[in-house]
Structure 1
Amino acid sequence: MSRVRLGAIGAGWWATSNHFPLFAARDDVEMVGVCGLGPDLPGIRDRFGFGFATEDADELLDAGLDAVVISTPHDLHHPLAAKALERGLHVLCEKPMTLRADEAWDLAARVEQAGTVFLVPYGWNYKPFTVAAKRMLDAGRIGEIQYALCHMASPTRGLFGSDPTHMLERWNSATAPNPTTWSSPAHGGGYAHGQITHSSALLFWLTGLRAASVSGRVIGAGSPVDLFDAGVIRFDGGALGSLSGAATLADGDKYQVDIRLFGTEGVLMIDVERERVSLSRYDGEREDVAITPGEGEYECLIPPARFIDLITGACAENNSTVDVAARSVELIDALLRSSAQDGVEVAVH
Structure 2
Amino acid sequence: MSQTIKAAVLSAGAWSQSSHLPALKADPRVQLVAISSPNAEMAANLGRQFEVPHFADWREALAMGPEIVVVSSPPVAHEEQVIAALEAGAHVLVEKPFALSAGPARRMRDTAERLGKVLLVGFGWPAAPIFALARHLIDAGEVGRVEHMTMHLAVNTRALLSGGTDGGWGGKAESNTATYTDKAISGGGSAAVTMSHQLGMVEWLVGEPIVALNASTFPPASDIDLHTTVNAEFAGGGSAALSAASTYPYLARPQWHMALYGGNGQLWADSVADTLRLVRANGETVEYRGPDASGVYDPGAPTKALIECGFGAPAPAGLTARLAARVVAVTDAIYLSSKNNQKLQVEEQ
Given the two structures, how large is their TM-score scaled by the length of structure 1?
0.91
| Mapping of residues 218-233 of structure 1, within 5 Å | 218-220=217-219, 225-233=224-232
Q: Which runs of 5+ in 2 are unaligned?
A: none
Equivalent of residue 178 in structure 2, options 180, 189, 195: 180
The reply on whether 1:31 has 2:32 as its aligned counterpart is: yes
- Please say which of residues 170-179 and 318-327 is displaced more in the overlay: 318-327
Aligned to 1:98: 99
| Mapping of residues 178-257 of structure 1, within 5 Å | 178-187=176-185, 188-220=187-219, 225-252=224-251, 254-257=253-256
Structure 2 vs 1, CA of residues 239 and 222 (structure 1 numbering), >3 Å: closer, same or farther? Answer: closer
| Mapping of residues 32-51 of structure 1, within 5 Å | 32-40=33-41, 41-50=43-52
Percent identity (aligned): 28
**Cα distance, 1:195 vs structure 2:** 0.8
**Cα distance, 1:103 vs structure 2:** 2.3
Aligned to 1:148: 149
CA contact (8 A) 2:69 2:90 kept: yes
CA contact (8 A) 1:77 1:98 kept: yes
| Mapping of residues 329-348 of structure 1, within 5 Å | 329-348=328-347
3-state SS, counterpart of residue 261 of structure 1: strand
Structure 2 vs 1, CA of residues 235 and 320 (structure 1 numbering), >3 Å: closer, same or farther? Answer: same
**Cα distance, 1:318 vs structure 2:** 5.1
- Please say which of residues 64-73 and 219-228 is displaced more in the overlay: 219-228
* Aligned mates of 2:299, 2:256 — CA distance in 1: 15
* Aligned mates of 2:173, 2:73 — CA distance in 1: 14
Runs of 4+ with deviation above 6 angstroms: none
| Mapping of residues 123-134 of structure 1, within 5 Å | 123-134=124-135
AA aligned opposite 1:31: L
AA aligned opposite 2:295: G
* Aligned mates of 1:163, 1:221 — CA distance in 2: 21
**Cα distance, 1:348 vs structure 2:** 3.8
Deviations 1:118-148 (A, max 9, x none): 2222232101221111111112221111112
Q: Which runs of 5+ in 1 are unaligned?
A: none
* Aligned mates of 2:315, 2:87 — CA distance in 1: 23
**Cα distance, 1:250 vs structure 2:** 4.9
**Cα distance, 1:315 vs structure 2:** 7.8
* Aligned mates of 2:314, 2:28 — CA distance in 1: 17
The reply on whether 1:68 has 2:69 as its aligned counterpart is: yes
Aligned to 2:20: 19
3-state SS, counterpart of residue 290 of structure 2: coil
3-state SS, counterpart of residue 122 of structure 2: coil
Structure 2 vs 1, CA of residues 242 and 178 (structure 1 numbering), >3 Å: closer, same or farther? Answer: same
CA contact (8 A) 1:150 1:200 kept: no
CA contact (8 A) 1:262 1:268 kept: yes
* Aligned mates of 1:84, 1:253 — CA distance in 2: 33
Structure 2 vs 1, CA of residues 304 and 156 (structure 1 numbering), >3 Å: closer, same or farther? Answer: same
* Aligned mates of 1:121, 1:250 — CA distance in 2: 22
**Cα distance, 1:96 vs structure 2:** 1.3
* Aligned mates of 2:338, 2:317 — CA distance in 1: 33
**Cα distance, 1:57 vs structure 2:** 2.8
* Aligned mates of 1:184, 1:316 — CA distance in 2: 31
Structure 2 vs 1, CA of residues 181 and 189 (structure 1 numbering), >3 Å: closer, same or farther? Answer: farther
**Cα distance, 1:39 vs structure 2:** 3.0
* Aligned mates of 2:253, 2:34 — CA distance in 1: 36
CA contact (8 A) 2:120 2:315 kept: no
3-state SS, counterpart of residue 258 of structure 1: strand
3-state SS, counterpart of residue 46 of structure 2: helix
AA aligned opposite 1:42: A
The reply on whether 1:160 has 2:158 as its aligned counterpart is: no
Deviations 1:146-179 (A, max 9, x none): 11222211222111111234x3xx3222111011
**Cα distance, 1:271 vs structure 2:** 2.2
Structure 2 vs 1, CA of residues 160 and 223 (structure 1 numbering), >3 Å: closer, same or farther? Answer: farther
Given the two structures, how large is their TM-score scaled by the length of structure 2?
0.91
